[in-house]
Amino acid sequence: MQIITLQQWNAMGLAPFAERLTKLIREAHPKESADVTDAELRGEIARQARKARGYGMKDEQTAAAYVYTAWLLGPDFDTRIPSLAQILNEPTLSAPRKADALNNFTQTVFHALDTHAAGKP
């Protein structure tokens, strides 16, 4: 996996990354994203991508996992959910392992919510 520096990312532009994630969020969550303008969504994606970098998630794939988790769980999930804060702040975990943990957590939470909503034990 190739890691790009912040300067390289800025030189290439965060715009294509934000555009792709904006499209993905709009397609996957049309109702939930309807009240947010493209500019607001791209701005929040950029803000969350910067936070991801702070946790060592510097490549597009892991940054995208972080940004999408923020969309699903809320922009402050990284401080509001202690278990995720612990994972994100663990210096011995690689960025891909952190991204996997975020994905596993959200899948587990939404599966549990779906199961509960359907009245399943």
Note the pLDDT of residue 14: 62
* pLDDT beyond 60 at 86: yes
pLDDT in tens, 40-50: 999 999 999 99
Note the pLDDT of residue 1: 43
Alpha helices in 13-119 (DSSP H): 15-28, 30-33, 38-54, 60-73, 77-80, 82-88, 95-117
Please say whether the beta carbons of 40 and 21 come within 8 A: no
Indicate the pTM of the whole model: 0.83
Note the pLDDT of residue 16: 83
pLDDT in tens, 9-61: 555 556 788 888 898 999 999 999 999 999 999 999 999 999 999 999 999 89
Q: Distances from the Cα of 79 to the Cαs of 13, 51, 68, 75, in angstroms?
A: 28, 11, 16, 9
Bigger pLDDT: 50 vs 8:
50
Q: How far apart are CA 60 and CA 51, in angstroms?
A: 13
Phi, psi for 58 (deg, rounded to 5): -100, -15
